[in-house]
Amino acid sequence: MSNAVEFDPGPPVAFAQHFASVPDYAPFKNFFWYDWGPVFYRGRLDGSARVLCIASDPGATERVALRTLVGDAGQRVQGFLAKLGLVRSYLCLNAFAYALIPSQSAGGDDVLDEPAHLAWRNALFDMAKGPQVQAVIAFGAQAQRAVAKWPGKAGTQVFKLPHPSSHDPQVLANAWRAAVVTLRGIVTADAGGNATGANYGAQLVEADYAVIPRRDLPFGVPAFMGDDRWLRAMAPPQFASVSRPQPDDRHTLIWKAPKSN
């Protein structure tokens, strides 16, 4: 097992207290996979983040990992950050702390506007947007709505990009490619990062993914967490090691591991 110092030690006290004060989702529980609880972040909470990524909600893999943007979509975002030369100085948050049921997305919009949730979310974004942040990236419609309702974004460039799980691969690649060109002129690359590598082609390919680093994950997760190359190499490719099976998808997760050689 990897050395414990390689892993995320958890949130600082101020963030932990704010996470613990998340407003009650019970009045909106029909819109979410509520009984699995919240997932809040991935990345730096120490003020060193230069890019703040906002996604919509944590998926099934994120519930197991205890961090957001870890599954296939997260590995695409990690690849995007790598093209900016970022290997450490980023923070990923969500519009919703709980996983939103896709068919209930309209109900989720009610949460974005509910006063207690709005105030809590904006306070979280304010805490995350330290003086080092050079850009905010909102992935997908709900993240973009959440950022639009955040007064604290003023003075920082906001990029509205398709969600990494977009069903239109060409639109996704085109938008992300253009954003990489612009962001490379704004964001300071990390030491050890490479902001001069290949940009996206016509569609995302395996080389455009990046493994979630150990420093972003809690101690004790298996070595394959955050690295789904083994799934994408299957015939046909698969894109999630954690799934919600019917009929009780609200209370059941199935987690697959790669077979050892």
When pLDDT is averaged across residues 55-59 and rounded to a whole number, the result is 97
Model pTM score: 0.97
DSSP 57: -
pLDDT band, very low/low/confident/very high, at 4 (cuts 50, 70, 90): confident
Whether 1 has a pLDDT exceeding 60, the answer reads: no
Q: What is residue 2's predicted lDDT score, i.e. its pLDDT?
A: 60
pLDDT band, very low/low/confident/very high, at 52 (cuts 50, 70, 90): very high
Low-confidence winner among 5-9, 25-29, 188-192, 221-225 (lowest mean pLDDT): 5-9
Whether 154 has a pLDDT exceeding 60, the answer reads: yes
Q: What is residue 182's predicted lDDT score, i.e. its pLDDT?
A: 99
Q: Residue 51 and residue 153: Cα distance in Å, rounded?
A: 12
pLDDT band, very low/low/confident/very high, at 3 (cuts 50, 70, 90): confident
For domain 36-190+224-255, give the CATH number: 3.40.470.10
Q: What is residue 5's predicted lDDT score, i.e. its pLDDT?
A: 77
Alpha helices in the chain (DSSP H): 13-20, 60-65, 72-83, 105-113, 115-128, 141-148, 169-183, 229-232
Q: What is residue 164's predicted lDDT score, i.e. its pLDDT?
A: 98
- Give per-residue burial for 182-202: e unless 16+ CB within 10 Å, then b: ebeeebebbeebebeeeebee
When pLDDT is averaged across residues 228-248 and rounded to a whole number, the result is 97
Residue 139: closest CA among 86, 104, 101, 93: 93
Query: Per-domain residue ranges for the chain?
Result: 36-190+224-255
When pLDDT is averaged across residues 150-176 and rounded to a whole number, the result is 97
